[in-house]
Amino acid sequence: VIIRDDVDVLLKVKNIGNGLECDSVIVDHEDGPLQREKFLFAVKKYWTASAASDKTN
């Protein structure tokens, strides 16, 4: 996911993403670090459940 918005909005979204166990990073705007608009890059790791075990008694 890539989001471009104000830094305050991105911090809230990053906190939600951390709760969902996403890896995320906020990077500066291409015009420099003094711009309020930033980028958020987030990646959710692929997750699968383990196979059901066959238990016979």
Kindly report, residue by residue over 1-55, the tens digit of the pLDDT.
Answer: 999 999 999 999 999 999 999 999 999 999 999 999 999 999 998 878 887 776 6
pLDDT at 23: 95
| Burial (Cβ within 10 Å: 0-12, 13-18, ≥19) of residue 40 | buried
Q: How many CB atoms lie within 10 A of CB 17?
A: 19
Is residue 57 predicted with pLDDT exceeding 80?
A: no
Q: Which pTM does this prediction carry?
A: 0.74
pLDDT at 45: 86
pLDDT at 10: 97
